[in-house]
A = this chain, B = another copy of it.
Amino acid sequence: MTQNNMFTYECIAQDGNARAGVFHTPHGDILTPIFAPVGTQATVKGITPAQLEEVRANLVLSNTYHLYLRPGAELVAEMGGLHEFMQWPHPMLTDSGGFQVFSLNELRSLDEDGVTFRSHIDGSTHRFTPEKSIDIQEKLGADIIMAFDECAKPYDREYSKQAMERTHRWAERCLQAKTRPEQALFGIVQGGVFPELREESAKFISSLGFPGHAIGGLSVGETKHEMNDMLELVNAILPADKPRYLMGVGSPEDLINSVLRGVDIFDCVLPTRLARHKAAMTRTGRMNLQNASHAHDARPIDEACGCYTCQHFSRAYLRHLIVAKELLAGTLISIHNLSMLLELMRDARQAIIDGRYQDFAVEFLANYNASSKK
Contacts and interface: CB of A to CB of B under 8 A. Distances in A.
Nearest to A51: B48
| Identical copies of this chain, number | 2
A78 interface: yes
A87 B298 CA distance: 12
Contacts of A328: 43, 45-48
Contact of A317 (B42, B298, B317, B332): B42
Given A43-B321, A48-B308, A328-B47, A313 B87 contact: yes
Interface string A303-322: 00000100011101101110
A79 B324 contact: no
Interface residues of A, number: 40
Given A85-B314, A296-B78, A316-B79, A70 B308 contact: no
A41 interface: yes
Contact of A316 (B41, B75, B319): B75
Contact of A331 (B48, B316, B324): B48
B70 A324 contact: yes
A44 to B, nearest CB: 8
B45 A320 contact: no
Contacts of A85: 314, 316-317, 320
A38 to B, nearest CB: 13
A75 to B, nearest CB: 7
A71 interface: yes
A330 B46 CA distance: 9
A326 B70 CA distance: 12
Given A87-B312, A312-B87, A43 B326 contact: yes
Contacts of A323: 70-71
Contact of A327 (B46, B312, B317): B46
Nearest to A297: B79
Contact of A42 (B46, B50, B320): B320
A332 to B, nearest CB: 7
Contact of A41 (B50, B51, B298, B324): B324
A3 B137 CA distance: 68
Looking at A45, A316, A319, the one whose CB has the most chain B CB atoms below 10 A away is A316
Given A296-B78, A332-B48, A71 B316 contact: yes
A327 B45 contact: yes
Given A71-B323, A314-B79, A50 B330 contact: no
Contacts of A71: 295, 316, 319-320, 323-324
Nearest to A69: B324
A11 interface: no
A86 interface: yes
| 8 smallest beta-carbon distances between A and B, as pairs | A46-B327, A71-B320, A41-B324, A87-B312, A43-B328, A43-B326, A70-B324, A79-B316
6 contacts: A46-B327, A66-B324, A70-B324, A79-B314, A79-B317, A85-B317
